[in-house]
Amino acid sequence: MTITSPCTTTPLLSSKLLPDNPFPKPPPGFFDAGSVFCCSTLLFTASVGSGVLALPSAAKQAGLGLGILFLVCAGLISATSNWILSNAVTVSGQRTYGSVLAWAISYIKTGGTRQGFPLQRLHAFDAFMVLNQAASIVTYLIFLGDFLPSVFLTWTGIPVNRTLVLVIISYVVVLPFSISSEISSLRAVGSFSMWVMFATAILAVCKTPWGALGGQHHLETNSAALEGVTWQHAMQALSLGTFAFMNQVNAVCITAELHKPTPARQGIVCISSSACLFLCYATLMACVYLTFGQATTSNFLQNYPVDDSAVNACRVAVSLMLIFACPLNLFPVTSSFFHAIERCDLESNPRVRSAFNLVVLTVCLVAAIWVPDVGSFIGFVSAYMSTPLMMTLPAFIYIVCCRVEDATLSKEQIPISASKALLRRSCRLAIPAILLAVSVLLWTAATVNLFGGKKS
């Protein structure tokens, strides 16, 4: 006779098994994990990064009116792709971007005939993520090279070489933080970045010369900016906007934690986070551009005087945020690389990990020193790396989810009204077409700008 714990046995007088959890878990509170507010906040925080610093230069490329319009477009695209990915999480049961993509590819290959089988790892996607995260590290280092020399000069009066600063930051600060295999101590940088950007936006509002706006100088500046806009400039501005809204990789993990993930609740999370991001970004873009006009640089904090104590405090805070963001991006680079070559055992080896991080950081350092303009670099990164994650792949995943929905409706013989069927057909044609068309436009503009710059 086997004796088991009374807490886990079935009552002797009962012929039915008890449920695994006889007391249903109550819904999360407003601020608890899994709530709509919590998921929306996490999604907002996941978007805030170095792309915000280059965002006001989008108004320089296309004018303030078009810049705000492109921000609206980028926000709508981001909300749509996040909703597609969150819906795919519910349909597929997967919880990472790579596994959702692998599920979609497997469904297409098998025609939906095999369910629940182990998904193949996408080595090409892992290699792509290595490049994507490494490009983010390059942008962080470029901004650090802009901030730290000016701050050091202001505080000490000693001029410091930009390259020397980047070398010291990379090998003395960033590399030691990335040696450990644990990153829990660095997770606080997520919320820290949100507060830093809030403070930076407030600074931009306070520094705007509101009394001098509306004069002839500002009107002439805006009209001159609009007259010189080309389609390449417009796409460059849109690239900067989409890069600032980039959070799709994290969106899959965040929305997977949502309690009762109905399409309506998923839509609230995606729309509310994008709307809040738009309000912050539009305020920042408008204030900076109205202050500096066509003199706005790709790193707008560099437009402010170097002897301004409030601006220098923001520069130091942003620098700390970027310094800790570098090792946070090195961890997924390492993980994706060793998964791509199918040598996951090497990832836990401290010597191999340290040597690999040293190589990656050196390559990123050389790229940061070589790249002359962070705005152009972000435009290329957004077009070639962020665009597939935000638009191209979600369009493909949306088509697969629609096929799964059709198969379910057909199997269960659920009738659909004519108006609802027309709406579903229209969405299935319009959403992938728009996402793919914008992807092609951004790729084309980035390629033309790249080769046009080389010729000139």
pLDDT at 3: 43
Q: Angle formed by the axes of helices 123-156 and 374-381, to 10°?
A: 160
Angle separating helix axes 263-292 and 248-255, nearest 10 degrees: 150
3-class state of residue 417 by DSSP: coil
Cβ-in-10-Å burial (0-12, 13-18, 19+) of 268 comes to: middle
Rg, Å, the chain Cα set: 25
Q: What is the pLDDT of residue 2?
A: 42
Q: Which domains does the chain have, with CATH numbers?
A: 36-407+424-448 (1.20.1740.10)
At residue 410, the pLDDT reads 80
What one-character DSSP code corresponds to residue 384?
A: I
Sequence-ordered list of residues with C-beta below 8 angstroms from that of 28, at least 6 positions apart, any chain:
34, 35, 38, 259
Can you give the pTM of this predicted structure? 0.82
Distance of CA 142 to the CA centre of its chain: 18
CB crowding 368-388: b at 16 or more within 10 Å, else e = bbebeebbbbbbbbbbbbbbb
Compute the half-sphere exposure of residue 381: CA atoms within 13 Å on the CB side of its CA. 28
- Cα–Cα dist 74/46, whole Å: 16
Per the structure block, which two tokens stand in for 190? Answer: 């997520």
CA dihedral 225, 230, 232, 236 (to 10 degrees): 20
pLDDT attached to residue 52: 84
Long-range CB contacts for residues 65-69, cutoff 8 Å, separation at least 24: 65/222, 65/226, 66/226, 66/229, 66/234, 66/237, 67/237, 67/241, 67/285, 67/289, 68/282, 68/285, 68/286
Low-confidence ranges of the chain (pLDDT < 70): 1-33, 50, 112-119, 180-191, 212-228, 372, 452-456
pLDDT value for 324 = 81
DSSP structural state of residue 188? T
Which residue do the tokens 């950007």 mark? Answer: 197
Sign, CA torsion 26/31/36/40: negative
Sign of the alpha-carbon dihedral angle for 92, 93, 97, 99: negative
Alpha-carbon span 177 to 74, nearest angstrom: 34
Supply the pLDDT for residue 5: 42
DSSP assignment of 351-364: HHHHHHHHHHHHHH
pLDDT of residue 260: 84
Which amino acid would we find at residue 55? Answer: L
pLDDT of residue 10: 39
Q: How far apart are the first and last CA of the chain?
A: 87
Cα–Cα distance for residue pair 172/174, rounded to 1 Å = 6
